[in-house]
Amino acid sequence: MERFAVATLLFFAWGAASADDGDRQCDAWAQAIVKGSADACSDLCPQAKQFDHYDYRAGLQAAFASEPGLQHFLKYVARSTVMGSGAEAHACSVRALLVHWGDQRFSTSLASQPA
């Protein structure tokens, strides 16, 4: 029984460390997009441009820079057609913006969007 308890604790400790690593990697990915990395936005930026006629990198940069930029970006989130690995990067962008602006300011901007 004691071995089971130790194994269970180690499993949950590993899971918590993995989540933190994933969050850091996600934040780094979003920042790489903002800074102009072609690799970080290799799927997402072309999809946004081709399918939605949206300059993703400029939109994300504006979203980090100002609340009006965030609101404009959130309008794009509602109509985005990105898929596959582009959608993973997109989710990282939204998460990074939530962390950047904090719960209150992000949720206020989100609540101002049309249903």
62-113 tens-digit pLDDT: 999 999 999 999 999 888 888 887 888 888 899 999 999 999 999 999 998 8
Pick from 81, 97, 85: which is nearest to 31 by CA?
Answer: 97
30-55 tens-digit pLDDT: 899 999 988 888 888 999 999 999 99
Pick from 110, 50, 112: which is nearest to 81 by CA?
Answer: 50
pLDDT at residue 89, rounded to an integer: 85
Long-range CB contacts (within 8 A, 24+) of 60-63: 60/30, 60/33, 60/34, 60/93, 60/97, 61/34, 63/93, 63/97
Pick from 70, 114, 58, 68: which is nearest to 96 by CA?
Answer: 70
pTM, two decimals, is: 0.78
pLDDT band at 19 (very low <50, low <70, confident <90, very high): low
pLDDT at residue 26, rounded to an integer: 84
